Amino acid sequence: MDSLENVDFIQGDFTDDKVFQQILDKLDGRQPDLIISDIAPNISGVAAADQASSMYLVELVLDMVRQVLKPGGNFAVKVFQGEGSDEFLRDVRTSFEKVVVRKPDASRSSEVYFVAKGFKG
């Protein structure tokens, strides 16, 4: 990826503790106002396994959000509807004042976006 002004790019496997630590190091104690996640697993072609992998990743992201997001901050995450997505939505709602679900008109897959505002901290 070409470098962008005021953008730090970290490439790696988000499930690797070293990558997570790189993110924390870049933040250096600062709390972002917004976290956007478009994370998705490598697709295996086995729907149940792919859904489980996807939910695992977004749950890891939510864990990070809860550790670093500024109180009052916002979070947007791509989620594939299926096993575990309703439970994940309920979990996100426990940490934010308002959560809406949006599906892009152009999307033909099961992807939706959860847009969460007002992190409770």
Q: Which amino acids are annotated catalytic?
A: 78
Tokens of 117: 């505002």
The H or E element spanning position 90 is helix 85-93
DSSP state, residue 41: P
Alpha-carbon distance of 68 to 35, in angstroms, equals 9
Cβ atoms of 116 and 76 closer than 8 Å: yes
Alpha-carbon distance of 29 to 58, in angstroms, equals 22
